[in-house]
Amino acid sequence: MDMLWNGWGDPARATSLPDTVTGLLRDLLGVRPPEAEPLALEDIDVPAHPLAPAAHRALAAALGDAAHVRTDAETRVRHTRGKSTPDLLRIREGDVSAVPAAVLLPAGHDEVLAVLRVCAEHGLPVVPFGGGTSVVGGLAPARHGAFVALDLRRMDRLLDLDPVSRTATLQPGLRAPRAEALLAEHGFTLGHFPQSYEWATIGGFAATRSSGQASAGYGRFDEMVLSLTLATPEGTLDTGRAPRSAAGPDLRQLVLGSEGAFGVITSVTVRVRPVPCTRVYEGWNFPSFAQGATALRRLAQDGPRPTVLRLSDETETLIGLAQPDAIGSGTPQSAGCTAVAGYEGTEEDTAYRREHAAAVLRECGGTPLGEEPGRRWADGRYSAPYLRDALLDAGAFVETLETATFWSRVPELYAAVRDALTATLTEAGTPPLVMCHISHVYENGASLYFTVVSAQGEDAVAHWTRAKHAANEAILAAGGTISHHHGVGTDHRDWYVREAGPLGIDALRAVKRRLDPAGLLNPGVLLPAD
């Protein structure tokens, strides 16, 4: 199934806002219904594909079948940009300025290499495309003119499973739910469950350094990766042949987070773990965000660490975003801040960690809310993007951004980003509601995930661009990283350049010149285009 072309996910799961929420948006934020209905797919004016006949023939030969070079309007629209709110607003207005000339469907590593050779010969930029879930402009190259989208959906197999070493080798186009199903047949799980889980792919997880909602227990995706194979215009790069090595710098780290700018990931070997016997999620309430953050830090540093550990601030708790399926249901939301702690594993291990973590949470001022809030979070954790679509339909603007820093800087970073968003959007005449939660924890720090809701105003994309730039400046000034798990794309690129520094960027440019001499791979993504 393809994702909804002008929204998120499965069209059959689209939701609508309760009248109570619509009224709240109107009264609190001045949200008004859009003046015009979004365009239908068949009404989008897509220009004829500009692929030269010689290039078309060469690509068909590389893929073994002309059917795997798709140039129809619908397929090209479905591969235009990603799923950020600006992306959706643009496509809903019929803006196809970033539409690919063709969509290519390779079946394996050799076909990817062949396609890259053809594209180099014909000067065609290439945008690798997995689940299409990028929210940072990672699928719209900066270079003007014709480009092709390389859709990896046919590369969707479990290539190898080693139950003794507990490793699995997966192709990049494998969507996360299918990967979990294939591993479960052998009694294993990857344990990687980001909010994009239902649609994102293995290759995308690696290319963006994804982090799942159970990262406290299973780790980030980049921590799971043991080896990768990368297809480049200059040939094949194989990285990683042992769990750990002292044989020079770890080349895996050049590929992880490279967002298709250095090559196309064609296989990933990851560590897997046994499917847990028990899963238990529970809610806790804290009087303040600061007290809740202290509790999370204690568990992250001294243990026992839950598998899932997250904390909503007062505003997010009040609105109910910690339990998206409860918004507008009439269910009273707690005052203070809601935390969710989840435990997965054997019954004995789960019971031990839950009991001893509860002692720490209570000591830090937490009050147990029982399992219902935890279950509601688990049941609704993939529904927030559908809620975003409903808010857009109602005339609201909603977007997210995230960052991370060391524990000692969390309070300053939290205040700086919230203040920057509030001030900028208020000045634009669209005062916002700014919510935040700690979504991932580490021994030395944590990530902050912000959700912003406001009226769309006269030019929602321009309003958000100014606000996002202000937030990015605040992040760097407060010592945060420009992205914890969304990636760089084009939206964060200029701030990433500053974060990495001139010498660091020059080193990455040297790598790109060696692997992609013509600069055709995702130009303008991660690094400025030449």
User: Residues 218, 386, 414, 449: which is the catalytic one?
Assistant: 449
- The verdict on whether residue 70 carries a ligand-binding annotation is no
- The verdict on whether residue 123 carries a ligand-binding annotation is no
- The verdict on whether residue 128 carries a ligand-binding annotation is yes
- Per the DSSP assignment, residues forming a β-bridge with 404 are 447, 481
Task: Match 């390389």 to its residue by tokens.
Answer: 150
- The verdict on whether residue 415 carries a ligand-binding annotation is no
HSE at residue 419, side-chain half, CA atoms within 13 A, is 11
- The verdict on whether residue 9 carries a ligand-binding annotation is no
- The verdict on whether residue 406 carries a ligand-binding annotation is no
Task: Match 């010149």 to its residue by tokens.
Answer: 513
- The verdict on whether residue 210 carries a ligand-binding annotation is yes
E-strand spans in 167-208?
167-170, 188-189
- The verdict on whether residue 289 carries a ligand-binding annotation is no
Closest by Cα among 202, 348, 374 to 285: 374
Q: Is the dihedral of CA 341, 345, 351, 356 positive or negative?
A: negative
- The verdict on whether residue 129 carries a ligand-binding annotation is yes
Angle at which helices 384-393 and 85-92 cross, to 10°: 40
- The verdict on whether residue 134 carries a ligand-binding annotation is yes
- The verdict on whether residue 77 carries a ligand-binding annotation is no
**Using an 8 Å Cβ cutoff, are 494 and 244 in contact?**
no
- The verdict on whether residue 342 carries a ligand-binding annotation is no
HSE at residue 6, side-chain half, CA atoms within 13 A, is 20
Q: 304 preceded by cis ω (within 30°)?
A: yes
User: Does 386 participate in catalysis according to the annotation?
Assistant: no
- The verdict on whether residue 15 carries a ligand-binding annotation is no
- The verdict on whether residue 264 carries a ligand-binding annotation is yes
What are the helix (H) ranges across 246-399? 252-255, 289-302, 314-319, 347-363, 371-380, 384-393
Closest by Cα among 497, 446, 491, 506 to 476: 497
User: What does the alpha-carbon distance between residue 171 and residue 521 come to, in Å, rounded to a whole number?
Assistant: 20
- DSSP secondary structure letter of residue 42: G
- The verdict on whether residue 131 carries a ligand-binding annotation is yes
- The verdict on whether residue 209 carries a ligand-binding annotation is yes
User: What does the alpha-carbon distance between residue 441 and residue 447 come to, in Å, rounded to a whole number?
Assistant: 7
- The verdict on whether residue 388 carries a ligand-binding annotation is yes
- The verdict on whether residue 261 carries a ligand-binding annotation is yes
Which residues form the catalytic set? 449
Residues in binding site for FAD? 128-134, 208-211, 259-265
Residues in binding site? 128-134, 208-211, 259-265, 388
Residues in binding site for substrate? 388
